[in-house]
Amino acid sequence: MRFRYDFGFVATSSFWGYQVYLAILNVIKKQKLLFCLPFFFMHTLSYAFGGDWSSEVGLEGTVFAEESETSDTRSNFSLFISTEYYEDWNDGDDSFIFSPRFRLDQNDSERNTFDVSELAWVHVEDTWEIRTGIREVSWGVSLMGGVVDVVNQTSIVEDFFGAKLGQPMINLSLVQDWGILDLFVLTGFRKASLPGPDSRPGLPFELNTDESKISLQNEEIIGLDYAARWQHSWESFEWALSYFYGTSREADIDFNYNVADPGIVSTYDNINQLGVELIYIWNGYSFKYESKTVKGANNRGAGIGMYTAGLIGFEYTWGSVFGGNYDIMWDVSYMHDDRKSSFSAIMEKDIFALGVLNFNDEFDTRISFGSIWDVEDDEGIFLINAERRIAESWKATMFAVYFYAEQKETPPEVIEQQSAAELDRLLRGFELFGDSELEKIIDSFGTLIVEHGIFSDEVGDAIDNLQTIVDNVTFREDNKLAVLKDESFIRIILTHYF
Amino acid sequence: MVKKLIVGILALILVAPVFAETAEEKGLRIAQEGEHLDDGWVDSTSKMEMILINKNGKETVRKMHSSATEGSNDDGKMLMVFDSPRDQKGTALLTHSHPDKDNEQWLYLPALKKVKKIASKSKSGPFLGSEFSFEDIGGGKIEDYDYKWLRDEEFNGRKVWVMEAYPKDKYSGYTKVVSWTDQEDHRIYKAEFWDRKKSHLKTMTLTGYEKYLDKFWRPGELHMVNHQTRKETKMQISDNVFNQGLKDKDFTKNSLKRAR
């Protein structure tokens, strides 16, 4: 869609789309003036260069099955807009892309977001191209993603399965007979967007989302991350090898080691990651393998270590099922993650199965059924996604997620251990704290005791607070999904494209 | 003398099949001639508008554009980019054809910013909800079919061959395709598609032919009618441009990501 200024601005196509756009712009103005500024900026750009605009605006309504531990919100509305501005010149050898997105949430301030997914210039030559700016990069062979994909930070607040956040970079891509080699220098590390107290799906404890620790081991941010990926194909094989050195995008959680004001913060390690991807096409099947070896990850309590995670599976499409135009695509894979109790590795040995029923009709109707099942612990996530175009440029989506996990009982002796005398034993048994951190806690306790006396309220409160954190944060290895047991939801999304 | 006669008769027997061409051989020869006649277009770009008409006459429009290179030996490359409906905008399909093995295909999903290698065998599946199937769009190779010439006929005042093609691939949705081909310039005017149950499934008529570079005939519209569902699809092709020096870099996985 092209906008043109004419005493203000006038949309030249999709009248209704533009009305909706205006109405939303109004809401945004009333709520937060700042939010509309990039839009005016984009309009000015559009006027100056006359590039190509594609936008979408959507309204999302969610109903949760239960109240959660931190929020009694059972229903929620959220509004989102995303736009892409594209312009190319020199016969397409140079291009510029700008795509910001906004979200306004009824209840969750963590979900009032503005992000620039892309703001980049791409220059193409015969055997190489260079891409400079904020971009989104996707690695990996799995639809689920997540194993080797490391370039962009994600927001699980905006999208439960992870919405990518724009990453500033310079990316040189060499296109040669021996494949495509991408070299990256990445800067501007961004923290993962993690749920706040009002977020749903959320966590049963309060995470201090403003505070975070980066690379505990080195006590500093490297500042620049480096990555490379080589991809090539031969006959029915296609593969990629990738390497990443920098601050991990995966957040783990940790205690802030402040006994006087205890809290939970997200932490990030400096890592070296080697990734392998492989696809083999055979007779309509697509066999997929993806794995990574990560060195330098904290792996909670185990110190600087190494772990591997991987996925193996296949995809197949049954054509012309149910005697008609329908087809069903199956995607089944087995996932494995070495880490026992990392926050990021909620699933360790899991089977992921996805069936997508395509109606192949003029409305592009599609229904997907998925499940992620932890084969060891009998926990799982089930989801259904159904979508259909309901008018020329309107789409309706229904998305439902069910978390199947029961809270396994915490041993009563853990609950009862609240006395100062037992604290030391408690902390030693508590995997979250590495040995080096234990000293910090004992030191800060010592300070409190010296200042206020051992039987003071201050010390008593500190112990209570610690206990609460211990109770909440220690996921049992076999019961991680329990934190999400109240978070099942159904969501209806209405999206307009213009 | 006698020896000469015998040699002559022997020669005649040996050479005879060349003169007495079977219907199958004639069919194959016509198909091969048609293909050679179309050699040398080098590369092309075009726009397409697909109008899906349901049995109540309601229309849905899909727009796309494509670019292709001919390649030297059946190893052509094609990039197709979808423009509308808007929710599909930016989706792109890259195909590398190979003479003696399966084609390679990648799909770019703009929402995920992801290039996905696809392995589908379901050629018979519908192309974007239309009455065209992937095998109708894909442009099969000569070797994919067995042929048989049926008869000569007149079609709208032009002399045509009526012939049948039988797909060799067990994944094909057809048992035979009957076509009406111009005897002079190999333009195809009509094709009938017969399904696996050997009943008449679809009829395609090709109209609005135009000649490009003084050599290559291209239809302006392909009209497919499904007799079993009573649904129709009109594929209108416009803005054909040939031989504009497209390069390999326009047909890589990298180009798929920046396709517009």
Residues 6+ apart with CB under 8 A from A382: A369, A370, A371, A401, A402, A404
Question: Within this chain, do residues A257 and A148 fall inside the same structural domain, yes or no?
Answer: yes
Tell me the residue length of chain B: 260
Residue A57 confidence (pLDDT): 93
Separation of alpha carbons A355 and A350, rounded Å: 16
- The verdict on B103 touching A (C-beta cutoff 8 Å) is no
Residues 6+ apart with CB under 8 A from A424: A442
Which segment, A415-424, B103-112, B161-170, is predicted with the most confidence on average?
A: B161-170
Separation of alpha carbons A465 and A426, rounded Å: 14
Which residues numbered 40-99 in A keep a CB inside 8 Å of some CB on B?
A: 52, 54, 56, 86, 88, 92, 95
Separation of alpha carbons B92 and B120, rounded Å: 16
Torsion of CA A113, A118, A119, A122, to 10 degrees: 180
Q: Which residues of B213-239 are buried (b: 16+ CB within 10 A; e: fewer)?
A: eeebbbbebbbbbbeeeebbbbbbbee
Residue B194 confidence (pLDDT): 95
Closest CA–CA distance from residue B102 to any residue of chain A (Å): 9
Residues in B touching A495 (Cβ below 8 Å): 87
Residue of A nearest to B123 (CA): A319
Confidence of residue A208 (pLDDT cuts 50, 70, 90): low
Residue A7 confidence (pLDDT): 28
Percent above pLDDT 90 for chain B: 47
- The verdict on B249 touching A (C-beta cutoff 8 Å) is yes
Q: Is residue B15 part of a domain?
A: no
Q: Averaged over B171-190, what is the pLDDT?
A: 92
For the record, the structure tokens of A216 come out as: 């505990």
Q: Averaged over B83-96, what is the pLDDT?
A: 90
Q: Which among A236, A315, A497 is the nearest to B87, CB-wise?
A: A497
Separation of alpha carbons A330 and A315, rounded Å: 5
Q: In 3D, which of A257, A233, A479 has the Cα closest to residue A374?
A: A479
Residues 6+ apart with CB under 8 A from A15: none
Beta-ladder partners of B161: B152, B181
Q: Is residue A352 part of a domain?
A: no
Residues in A touching B249 (Cβ below 8 Å): 124-127, 175
Q: Is residue B204 part of a domain?
A: yes
Question: Within this chain, do residues A296 and A426 fall inside the same structural domain, yes or no?
Answer: no
> What type of residue is A458?
E
Residue B238 confidence (pLDDT): 93
Q: Is residue A427 part of a domain?
A: yes
Which segment, A110-124, A477-491, B93-107, is predicted with the most confidence on average?
A: A110-124
Q: In 3D, which of A35, A107, A41 has the Cα closest to residue A72?
A: A107
Residues in B touching A127 (Cβ below 8 Å): 249
Q: Averaged over A372-395, what is the pLDDT?
A: 90
Give A392's DSSP letter: T
Q: Is residue A215 part of a domain?
A: yes
A129 with B254: Cβ contact below 8 A = yes
Give A166's DSSP letter: -
Separation of alpha carbons B144 and B28, rounded Å: 11
| pLDDT tens figures, A88-98 | 999 889 999 99
Residue of B nearest to A315 (CA): B119
- The verdict on A13 touching B (C-beta cutoff 8 Å) is no
A362 with B90: Cβ contact below 8 A = no
Q: Is residue B101 part of a domain?
A: yes
More confident residue, A261 or A288: A288
- Outline where DSSP puts E strands in A256-302: 264-268, 270-282, 285-297
B122 with A325: Cβ contact below 8 A = no
**Helix/strand/coil (H/E/C) assignment for every residue in B214-243:** CCEEECCEEEEEECCCCCEEEEEEEEEEEC
Instruction: Transcribe chain B into DSSP letters.
Output: -HHHHHHHHHHHHHHHHHHS--HHHHHHHHHHHHHHHTTT--EEEEEEEEEEE-TT--EEEEEEEEEEE--SSS--EEEEEEEESGGGTT-EEEEE--SSSPPEEEEEETTTTEEEEE----TTSBSTTSS-BHHHHH---GGGEEEEEEEEEEETTEEEEEEEEEE--TT-SEEEEEEEEETTT--EEEEEEEETTSSEEEEEEEE--EEETTTEEE-SEEEEEETTT--EEEEEEEEEEE-----GGGGSHHHHHH--
Q: Which among B171, B249, B260 is the nearest to A126, CB-wise?
A: B249
Residue B21 confidence (pLDDT): 82
- The verdict on A134 touching B (C-beta cutoff 8 Å) is no
Q: Is residue B233 part of a domain?
A: yes
Report the mean per-residue pLDDT for chain A: 78
What count of other Cβ atoms lies within 10 Å of the Cβ of residue B186? 17
Model confidence at A485: pLDDT above 80 = no
The range of the structural domain enclosing residue A426 comes to 417-475
Question: Within this chain, do residues A301 and A175 fall inside the same structural domain, yes or no?
Answer: yes
Confidence of residue B176 (pLDDT cuts 50, 70, 90): very high
Separation of alpha carbons A486 and A403, rounded Å: 8
B85 with A286: Cβ contact below 8 A = no
Q: Is residue A210 part of a domain?
A: yes
Q: Averaged over A197-216, what is the pLDDT?
A: 66
Q: In 3D, which of B226, B217, B222, B216 has the Cα closest to residue B234?
A: B222
Which residues numbered 290-319 in A keep a CB inside 8 Å of some CB on B?
A: 315, 317-319
Residue A419 confidence (pLDDT): 42
Residue A6 confidence (pLDDT): 30
Confidence of residue A320 (pLDDT cuts 50, 70, 90): confident
More confident residue, B249 or B193: B193
Q: Is residue A258 part of a domain?
A: yes
Residue A158 confidence (pLDDT): 84
Separation of alpha carbons A51 and A360, rounded Å: 32
Separation of alpha carbons A310 and A338, rounded Å: 9
Residue B221 confidence (pLDDT): 95
Q: Averaged over A264-291, what is the pLDDT?
A: 89
Separation of alpha carbons A204 and A199, rounded Å: 10
Separation of alpha carbons A102 and A80, rounded Å: 6
Q: Which among B54, B115, B122 is the nearest to A320, CB-wise?
A: B122
Residue B34 confidence (pLDDT): 87
Separation of alpha carbons B260 and A193, rounded Å: 31
| pLDDT tens figures, B40-85 | 888 999 999 999 999 899 999 999 999 999 887 768 899 999 998 9
Q: Is residue A337 part of a domain?
A: no
Question: Within this chain, do residues A161 and A289 fall inside the same structural domain, yes or no?
Answer: yes
CA distances for A240 relative to A179, A237, A290, A334, A357, angstroms: 9, 10, 9, 20, 29
Model confidence at A329: pLDDT above 60 = yes
Q: Averaged over A278-304, what is the pLDDT?
A: 79
CA distances for A214 relative to A253, A369, B205, B239, angstroms: 11, 37, 66, 55
Separation of alpha carbons A329 and A327, rounded Å: 7
Residues 6+ apart with CB under 8 A from A142: A288, A290, A311, A313, A333, A352
Which segment, A28-32, A266-270, A461-465, A476-480, is predicted with the most confidence on average?
A: A266-270
Separation of alpha carbons A204 and A222, rounded Å: 32
Mutate which of B98, B106, B258 to disrupt the A interface (most A C-beta within 10 Å)?
B258
Using only C-alpha atoms, chain B has a radius of gyration, in whole angstroms, of 21
Separation of alpha carbons A54 and A100, rounded Å: 11
Q: Which among B87, B112, B126 is the nearest to A389, CB-wise?
A: B87
Q: Is residue A382 part of a domain?
A: no
Among A316, A340, A365, residue at a domain's last position: A316
Confidence of residue B15 (pLDDT cuts 50, 70, 90): low
Residues in A touching B252 (Cβ below 8 Å): 175, 180
Q: Is residue B90 part of a domain?
A: yes
Instruction: Report the SS3 class of residue A317.
Output: strand
Contact yes or no for A367/A356 (Cβ under 8 A): yes
| pLDDT tens figures, A139-152 | 999 877 679 999 99
The range of the structural domain enclosing residue B247 comes to 22-258
Q: Averaged over A361-382, what is the pLDDT?
A: 89
- The verdict on B104 touching A (C-beta cutoff 8 Å) is yes
What count of other Cβ atoms lies within 10 Å of the Cβ of residue B85? 22
Closest CA–CA distance from residue B250 to any residue of chain A (Å): 9
> What type of residue is A164?
K
Question: Within this chain, do residues A308 and A421 fall inside the same structural domain, yes or no?
Answer: no
Peptide bond into B85 cis (omega under 30): yes
Count of domains observed in chain B: 1
**Range in A387-391, B12-16, B90-94 with the lowest mean pLDDT:** B12-16
- The verdict on A281 touching B (C-beta cutoff 8 Å) is yes
Model confidence at A185: pLDDT above 70 = yes
Contact yes or no for A68/A200 (Cβ under 8 A): yes
Contact yes or no for B106/B29 (Cβ under 8 A): no
Size of interface A-B (CB pairs under 8 A): 109
Model confidence at A357: pLDDT above 90 = yes
Residue of B nearest to A124 (CA): B249
**Range in A157-161, A192-196, A291-295 with the lowest mean pLDDT:** A192-196
Count of domains observed in chain A: 2
| pLDDT tens figures, B218-252 | 999 999 999 998 999 999 999 999 988 888 888 98
What H or E segment, with its residue span, contains residue A43?
helix A37-49
Mutate which of A325, A493, A497 to disrupt the B interface (most B C-beta within 10 Å)?
A325
B87 with A362: Cβ contact below 8 A = no
Contact yes or no for A53/A85 (Cβ under 8 A): yes
A495 with B102: Cβ contact below 8 A = no
Tell me the ipTM for this assembly: 0.82
Model confidence at A375: pLDDT above 70 = yes
Q: Is residue B246 part of a domain?
A: yes
Separation of alpha carbons A442 and A445, rounded Å: 5
Residues in B touching A284 (Cβ below 8 Å): 119-122, 171
- The verdict on B119 touching A (C-beta cutoff 8 Å) is yes
Give A409's DSSP letter: P
Q: Is residue B110 part of a domain?
A: yes
Mutate which of A127, A362, A388 to disrupt the B interface (most B C-beta within 10 Å)?
A362
B119 with A320: Cβ contact below 8 A = no
Residues in B touching A325 (Cβ below 8 Å): 125-126, 129
**Range in A418-427, B115-124, B249-258 with the lowest mean pLDDT:** A418-427
Model confidence at B189: pLDDT above 90 = yes
First to last CA, chain B: 76
Model confidence at B1: pLDDT above 90 = no
Closest CA–CA distance from residue B254 to any residue of chain A (Å): 8
Model confidence at A429: pLDDT above 70 = no
Residue A91 confidence (pLDDT): 86
Q: Averaged over A430-447, what is the pLDDT?
A: 62
The residue behind tokens 């490359």 is B77
Separation of alpha carbons A133 and B186, rounded Å: 52
First to last CA, chain A: 6
Percent above pLDDT 90 for chain A: 36
Q: Is residue A321 part of a domain?
A: no
Separation of alpha carbons B27 and B151, rounded Å: 10
**Helix/strand/coil (H/E/C) assignment for every residue in B107-146:** EEECCCCEEEEECCCCCCCECCCCCCEHHHHHCCCHHHEE
Q: Is residue B187 part of a domain?
A: yes
Residues in A touching B126 (Cβ below 8 Å): 325, 360
Residues in A touching B125 (Cβ below 8 Å): 319-320, 325, 327, 360
Burial status of residue A329 (CB atoms within 10 A of its CB: 0-12, 13-18, 19 or more): buried
- The verdict on A144 touching B (C-beta cutoff 8 Å) is no
Among A297, A316, A335, residue at a domain's last position: A316
Burial status of residue A168 (CB atoms within 10 A of its CB: 0-12, 13-18, 19 or more): middle
